[in-house]
Chain A
Amino acid sequence: MSSLRVESLRYLGNGPIDLIVAAGECVVLSGPSGAGKTLFLRAVADLDRSEGRVYLDSVERSTVPAPQWRRDVGFLMAESAWWAESVGAHFASVDRPLLEELGFSAEVTEWPIARLSSGERQRLALARLLAVHPKAVLLDEPTANLDAGNTAVVEGIVERYRVANAAAVVWVTHDRDQANRIADRSLAVANGRIEPVTNPAGAIEGSRS
C-alpha cells in the first residue's frame, strides 16, 4: 500500500504542483511536448532540485536517503540507458516469467546491449525497473516505441503490478486511447501546472473508473 502525495512542488521555474495519487491508483499525465511532464517526474524522483514536499504514504522524501527514495518511486525514463555489455548485468534480480511475458527467451540476459532494438530496450527497461520493487511507479511514455501487441502486454504488466502491490502509478502518455484504457484519472500538464483534463469530446474524463 503506497500512496504518492506531492505538495507545492516547485522545480526549474515550474509549479507549484499538488498531486495525490492513491495507493493502487493510475493517474495519466498528458500535455504538449515541453509542458514539463518529464521534468515533473524527474523532480518527484529527486533527480533535479525542487522545493516542496513529496510523501510516499507518510514518509517524506527528505527523511529518506536519496538512493532509497529512488528505489521506492521507480521512474522509467522515456529513453532508457544501458552501461554494461550484457543485458543481465543491469538487473537487480531476474524474473524469468516476466521477461518471457515481455517476449524474451531465457538467454536474453546474455544478449549484448548493442543488438537491442529501441522497442526491446523499452520493454527490458520496464522489467529492470520492476526488479527493484518500487512502491510507486512513474512511467514516461513507456510504450512510445512499441507496437500494439507489446503495448497491450506492457499495460497488462503495469496493471498487475499496480494491483498486486497497491502501487501508485503516474503514467505520462500522448496517446488518448491508451489514457482511456488505463487511467483512473487523467490530468493535463500545461505551463508548469497540473489541471484536470478538459477537452470538448470528453474522451478522457471519467474514462475507466
Chain B
Amino acid sequence: MNVISLSPLDLALAAGLLLTMAALTWYLRLGVTRSVLVAGLRTTVQLLLIGLVLRWLFANTSLALVSLLALVMLLAAGREVWVRPKRPFSGLWGFGVGTGALFLSSFTVLLFGLTVLVQPTPWYEPQYAIPLLGMLLGNTMTGIAVALDRLTGAAWSQRSVIEQRLLLGEDRWQAMGDVRDECIRSGLIPIINSMAAAGIVSLPGMMTGQILAGSPPVVAVQYQILIMFLIAAGTGFGTVAAVLVGCWRLFDDRHRLRLDRLG
C-alpha cells in the first residue's frame, strides 16, 4: 500500500494554522502565546531529531543504544513531571519522586509488553521498544504530573485540615487519606477517559498513525488495544507509586506535615 508523502508546503500550511492560533492568544492577552510558540518549535525540532535517531537506530540495533535512548527519554519525561507542579518537592526529591515512579512503572510494563506479549527478535528491537516506551512514558508522565501537582497543592491549601487530623491523633496516612485518594483518581482520569472514548469519540493517535501509514485497520486496532491496556496499567502503577512516595515525603517520622520540603 502506498503512503502519501507530505510535502514541506503541507507542513508549512499546518504551521500557519498554529501561528494563527498563537496570534489569537496574543490578541486575547492570554499570556500563553510564548508557550504555544516554544512548544510548537520544540515539537518540530524534537520530532525531526528523533526521526533521525530512529532511522539510525533501526539500522544499528544494539541493546546499549536502545538503553541509552530509553534513558534519555526517561530523563526528559522526568523533567516534565518535575517542572509541572506549582510547588514541587525541593532538592533531589523534586526530580526523584516523579522520575522514580516513571521508571518503575514504564519500564516494568515495557519489559512485560516486549518479552511476553509482542515478542520481537531481539526483544529490544527498537522499532517496537522505542515507540512502546514513548507512549508509556508520555501517558504515565501526564498522570504522575497531574497527581503530584494536586498532592503538593493540596498539602498547601489543606494544611489546616491535615494538621487538625494529626492533632486529633490520626497518623500521616489517615490524615492524608482523602487527599491521597483524590490525587490518584485525578491522575487516572485522563487515561480512563481515553479508554472510554477510544474508537467512538477519538481514534487514538497511534492507531491513526498506523492506518495513515498503510497498516490494515484490524492490525492497528489490535495494537491499539494492547497499548491502551499497557498505558492504563503503567499510568495507574506510576501514579500510585508517585503519590505514595510523595505522601511519605510530605511527613517526617514524627508525623509532622513538612511543607518546608516543598520548593
Please list the residues of chain A having a beta carbon within 8 angstroms of any beta carbon in chain B.
45-49, 65-68, 70-71, 74-75, 77, 79-83, 90, 92, 128-129, 132
Contacts of A74 in B (CB 8 A): 167
Please list the residues of chain B having a beta carbon within 8 angstroms of any beta carbon in chain A.
158, 160-161, 163-171, 178, 252, 254-257
Task: Give the total number of A-B pairs whose CB atoms are below 8 A apart.
Answer: 56
The chain A residue with its CB closest to the CB of B258 is: A49
Q: How far is the CB of A85 from chain B (nearest CB, A)?
A: 11
Query: Within the assembled complex, what's the spacing in Å between the Cα atoms of A165 and B169?
Result: 19
Query: Within the assembled complex, what's the spacing in Å between the Cα atoms of A70 and B163?
Result: 11
Query: Within the assembled complex, what's the spacing in Å between the Cα atoms of A26 and B163?
Result: 25
Contacts of B254 in A (CB 8 A): 46, 49, 66
Contacts of B164 in A (CB 8 A): 77, 80-83
| Contact in complex: A68, B167 (CB < 8 Å) | no
| Contact in complex: B170, A67 (CB < 8 Å) | yes
The chain A residue with its CB closest to the CB of B260 is: A49
| Contact in complex: A66, B165 (CB < 8 Å) | no
| Contact in complex: B169, A49 (CB < 8 Å) | no
| Contact in complex: A47, B169 (CB < 8 Å) | no
The chain A residue with its CB closest to the CB of B251 is: A66
Contacts of A80 in B (CB 8 A): 164
The one of B169, B170, B256 in contact with A48, judged by C-beta atoms closer than 8 angstroms, is: B256
Query: Within the assembled complex, what's the spacing in Å between the Cα atoms of A48 and B167?
Result: 12
| Contact in complex: B163, A132 (CB < 8 Å) | no
The one of A48, A67, A81 in contact with B161, judged by C-beta atoms closer than 8 angstroms, is: A81
The one of B163, B170, B171, B252 in contact with A81, judged by C-beta atoms closer than 8 angstroms, is: B163
| Contact in complex: A67, B169 (CB < 8 Å) | yes
Contacts A81-B160, A83-B161 hold; do A70 and B167 have CB atoms under 8 A apart? yes
The chain A residue with its CB closest to the CB of B254 is: A66
| Contact in complex: A92, B168 (CB < 8 Å) | yes
Contacts of B170 in A (CB 8 A): 67
Most chain A CB within a 10 A radius of its CB, from B163, B166, B167, B178: B167
